[in-house]
Structures are given as structure tokens and as C-alpha cells.
Structure 1
Amino acid sequence: MPLNYHHLRYFWAVAHDGNLTRTAQRLNLSQSALSVQIKQLEERLGHPLFERRGRQLHLTEAGRIALDHADAIFSTGQELVATLTGTMQTRKALRVGALATLSRNFQIGFLRPILSRLDVEVILRSGSPTELLEGLEALNLDLVLMNRPPPDDSLTPYETHHIGEQDVSIVGTPKRLETDLPIQELLAEQPFILPTTDSSVRTAFDAMASRYSVRPQIAAEVDDMAMMRLLAREDIGLALVAPIVVTDELNSGRLKEAKEHPRIKESFYAITLRRRFPNPLVQEIIEQNSESAFLS
């Protein structure tokens, strides 16, 4: 039996409104009639499209998939009417969440395989770990980029993909690193720009300083990699960062790496949700990044 597009349009309207009563009023239908139309679509597709939480309607996973297709279908129809040139290629969407403090260079490197594709639209959101994981569970995001894995237990539905890791360097202006001092002397003599104490990189740095019996001078504690770049460029101190964060500055000579590396690594992860209907773009980009060497 072919799909009834009237049913699909009613579902599409409710999904975007998020409120059955309001949509029924806008479409000049009774609420019960609208409910029947959506019920018939659910029966045709074989899956519930909404779940009710209190007074609010939330899309199920099947509902999110249906909405993606409905958006594409009705967008194509609008383009057809507007341009009279026939159906254009449907663009697929990839919704990516990234930790607000994560290196922009890393994000671009991860997304590069699909950014230039004309058939893909990348929707990028940033936020805190809690916000991103909630977005993943609500099916508003397809994957999340982080520099630490989420909590791992039998109750969490996450799949954690280790994308790669990179050695962390001590970086500063050429003047500040004019002489190739060993790390122990840099720790004792130079101010440092460090990640905040909840970072695994910071934990490793503090352990290293303890081994050397040195208490470094901390010029700034920063949870934003972009701000760490700026502070290092302004010669506030030496920054503890992965080179991918300051690629442009290293290439231009505005910043340089200390000769001795601190032997600390930063890891990068793509977090997904175990889904019955996964976005095929997710597996594609994860596989492409596992084969690439953008973190090397």
C-alpha cells in the first residue's frame, strides 16, 4: 500500500509544532481527527512516531527518521514549485554536537570528509557534556565529539568510538622558548596556561610536576581551547595543548613547541547512541576518520 502523503503532512506539522491541540487549531481540524490521521501513518510505517511525556509530545527514534524524510520530501516539493526545474537531489542531514571547549581544528578535521559534499548538510551544535548527551538521547544529535568518554555502565546506551589521540606539547612564543630548557626547568621558571582541573590532561600535568617536586606558577586555568591559543599568542605564559589546537600559529612561527615533550596524550572520541535506525552518515564518517591520519 503506498504512503498517504496527507497523513505524512499532518505528522510533519505536529512534529514541528510539538503540540497536537495547537496544530489541530491551525489546520482547522478536530484534535481527534488529527490523532486518527497520525495513528494511520503509524500503522502504515509499523512504528509509533510520538511518545507522550506529561502534556508534551516527543518524537520516538522512528519519529525522528520520519521527520527527516518528511522535511526532505516537502522541501523538494517547495523547490519544484519555486523553480519549475524538477526534483533536486535530496540532502541528507548529519547533526553533530561538540564539546564547547573542544579544539575547532579537531572538529574541522573530523568533519572534513563530508563538509564539501553537496548531498550532505552538517548541523553543528556546541554545549556542555550534559547538554550534548541529553541531545543524543533525545535524538536531536546523531553523534557527539568529546575529549573524554562518557560514563560507562550497563544502563547507558552510548557507544564510544576512539577517534585518535595526540601528544600534548608545551607551546609558547619563540622569545619565551628562546633556549631549549628541559621540562623541569620550564616548570620551575615559566608561568603556565593550563586546562582546568577536571581535565585528564591537567591531571597528567599535575602528576608530572609532582614527580619533579616542582610547583609551577599558573598564569591561567582555561577550559576553552580558543582562549588558550589567544593567551599563548599574547605571551601570557606557556600553554599545555595538543598541536592541532595551534596548527596555524606553529606553521607561521608565531608559536613554537618546547624541545622536550611532556609525554602526555589527549584522546578524542565520537559518542553515538545505540539506535535501531542509525543515520548511515554516522558510520561512514567514523570509518573515514579511523582510516585518516589527521591527528598524527
Structure 2
Amino acid sequence: MPDLNYHHLRYFRAVAHEGNLTRAAGRLNLAPSALSAQIRALEDRLGHALFERRGRQLVLTEAGRIALAHADVISAAAEDLLATLRDTGRAQTILRVGSLATLSRNFQLTFLRPALGRPDVEVVLRSGGMAELLRALETLDLDVVLTSEPPATGSAGGFVVHRLAEEPVSLIGRPALLAGRATLAERLAAAPLILPTPESGLRAGFEALRERLGIRLQIAAEVDDMAMMRLLAREGVGLAVLPPIVVRDELASGELLEAERLPGLVQPFHAVTVPRRFPNPLLRELLGAAGVGAATQPRRGPLPSG
């Protein structure tokens, strides 16, 4: 049997994403009849109808959805090949970084600093939920995902988790909220608190500390975004449970104070990659600058839902 034709897949992707043969033909600069023939040729090769017509729209069949998932991966791999090997093997100069939308901006800046401001480097930053970022990583649309929560174990797709740093966690707030002498238990019991949401690993560690201290809390806010926790602390809403790196500038200026470190609590930061034959050389440089050597951990697990 003949091999799959890459052009057939490209034409199929255009129609699938447009949902309309005429619009896709215009985008490809082809006659609609010629494009239709290319789609029929692909369907004959695969042995399945890829579309069904609903009014003026072309809707993917089940076989079409499967084909599109594979065609998108093939297209991304082809683009990655061109980007990596263009100009006779010149090193790739684009670094595509995804970061969890709730991740500390100061931590991201620290990790990326060796690549910033270089005339031979372009950094593309994309933030979002964990599931969408990991999908982009699997299709090679991203080189790395920065996160405070590693992927779950047990997935069909393999991820390599690099532990970049482990930051202490402190009780942080405006000077007025930290006036006077008090023990940690007294501060936690008396002050309104800005806490991570219950789903986070950091919150689980904090709850264990609360149980050990035997105190009840006054919760002012539960937030899944470190940047928002930082703003609420600056507004004096309460004392925040945060890694000091998140509010580094405010601590330096005296706008916020660090009351004390919370015993047993740390916030890990990770870089997640996928095994690649041609990894981005810029990424290797950044991981090396962060002190990452052979201590990587392959992860297999279902994509998280958000």
C-alpha cells in the first residue's frame, strides 16, 4: 500500500480546522473541487470517512477526530524539525516556555534570566492551565513547562520532571499586622490569613502545621494565584502564606515583612519536559544554570483537568 501523503494531511487539517471546504480551499489557494479530491484520496487511503456534512458545515467523524489528533502531532513535529535544523544546523534561537498561570513571576524571571536580553535568543512565553500546557508540550509546541505542581503519575505520555528549586514558605504581611511580639501559633490564630486553595500541595502542608499547633484560623481569602496573594498582602487584607521569592521586591523595600519561616513547609518549583532527540540547546543551558544535572524524574500520569 502507498505511504501517507504529507500534503493530504495538510489539506485535511485545513478543512478540519476551518469546518468548511470553500474557506479552506481559499486559504490553501486551491479550487474547492481539487481540495475535495485530495480529501477523498486520504479517506480512501485510511479506509474511513473523515467528515460528515451538516448543512454547510463539515463535521469530523470519529475516525476524523482520531486522524486530526495524529495530523496535528505530525505537523508540529515537522515545524519543530524545520526550526531546529534550519540554516544548516544553526542552533535554535527560539525558546518556547509555558508556565502555570498561578506561578510566581519572580521565579519565572529567575529561571529565564540567562536567556533574556541576548540578541541571538527569542523567548516565547505562554501561561495557562496545566492540562493545556502539557498537551502543548507533548505536541512540541512548547519546549518546557514551569510549574509548582508536577504532573500526576501513571500517564500514557511520558514527562520528565526536573526539580529546579525548593523555596521556604513564610508568614508575610504589612508591618502594621506584625507589630508586637507573638509566637507563630498566636499570630496564626489572631490574624486574618491569605492561604493557598485547599487543592494545592502547599495548603496540605499548612493544614498539617495547623493541626500540630492545635489552632483555629481566621481565613480572609483562599487564592490559587501567587501574584494575587502578593497583591492582597500588599493591600493589608491579611498575613499571606507565601515563599518569600514571590514578594522579593516588597520585602526589600520594607512594604512587607517576613514574620517567620513556617517549619516543615517548602514550595518546590519544577521544569517539565518530554524526551526529544533534538532538545532545545537553550533549555539545556537554563537547566544547567539552575543546577539541574542527572536528577530528573520521568512521570507518567493522566493530564490534570485544569
Q: Show the counterpart of 1:166.
A: 167
Contact 1:183 1:262 in 2 (8 A): no
Aligned-partner Cα distance in 2 for 1:54–1:219: 49
Aligned-partner Cα distance in 1 for 2:157–2:68: 26
Q: How is 1:200-239 mapped onto 2 (pairs within 5 angstroms)?
A: 200-239=201-240
Secondary structure of the structure 1 residue equivalent to 2:132: helix
How far did residue 260 of structure 1 move? 5.1
Contact 2:193 2:218 in 1 (8 A): yes
- Structure number with the bigger relative contact order (C-alpha 8 A, sep ≥ 6) is 2
After superposition, give the CA deviation of every residue in 1:156-191 in whole Å (9 maximum; x if it has no partner).
310000001110010011111112321110111111
2:98 equivalent to 1:68: no
Aligned-partner Cα distance in 2 for 1:25–1:146: 37
Using the TM superposition, name which of 168-177 and 19-28 deviates more. 19-28
Aligned-partner Cα distance in 2 for 1:273–1:25: 33
Q: How is 1:255-274 mapped onto 2 (pairs within 5 angstroms)?
A: 255-259=256-260, 261-274=262-275
Q: Show the counterpart of 1:54.
A: 67
Aligned-partner Cα distance in 2 for 1:94–1:126: 14
Q: Show the counterpart of 2:147.
A: 146
Aligned-partner Cα distance in 2 for 1:180–1:118: 51
The residue type paired with residue 225 of structure 2 is D
Contact 1:165 1:265 in 2 (8 A): yes
Go from structure 1 to structure 2 and tell me whether the alpha carbon gap of 1:115 and 1:107 turns closer, same or farther (over 3 Å shift): same
Q: Show the counterpart of 2:53.
A: none
Gap regions ≥5 residues in structure 1: 1-9, 36-50, 74-88, 292-296
User: TM (normalized to structure 2)?
Assistant: 0.72
Gap regions ≥5 residues in structure 2: 1-5, 16-20, 40-63, 293-306
Secondary structure of the structure 2 residue equivalent to 1:258: strand
Go from structure 1 to structure 2 and tell me whether the alpha carbon gap of 1:55 and 1:270 turns closer, same or farther (over 3 Å shift): closer
Q: Show the counterpart of 2:255.
A: 254
How far did residue 287 of structure 1 move? 1.0
The residue type paired with residue 249 of structure 2 is D
Secondary structure of the structure 2 residue equivalent to 1:274: coil
After superposition, give the CA deviation of every residue in 1:105-143 in whole Å (9 maximum; x if it has no partner).
011111001011111111111111111111111211110
2:279 equivalent to 1:278: yes
Contact 2:92 2:280 in 1 (8 A): no
Aligned-partner Cα distance in 2 for 1:32–1:174: 70
Go from structure 1 to structure 2 and tell me whether the alpha carbon gap of 1:210 and 1:112 turns closer, same or farther (over 3 Å shift): same
After superposition, give the CA deviation of every residue in 1:202-255 in whole Å (9 maximum; x if it has no partner).
111111111111111110000111111111111111000001100111011000
Go from structure 1 to structure 2 and tell me whether the alpha carbon gap of 1:55 and 1:101 turns closer, same or farther (over 3 Å shift): closer
Q: Show the counterpart of 1:156.
A: 157
Contact 2:80 2:140 in 1 (8 A): no
Go from structure 1 to structure 2 and tell me whether the alpha carbon gap of 1:33 and 1:111 turns closer, same or farther (over 3 Å shift): farther
Aligned-partner Cα distance in 2 for 1:184–1:258: 12
The residue type paired with residue 187 of structure 2 is L
Aligned-partner Cα distance in 2 for 1:149–1:211: 27
2:33 equivalent to 1:19: no
After superposition, give the CA deviation of every residue in 1:252-287 in whole Å (9 maximum; x if it has no partner).
100000145433100000000112332222222111
CA RMSD of aligned residues (A): 3.1
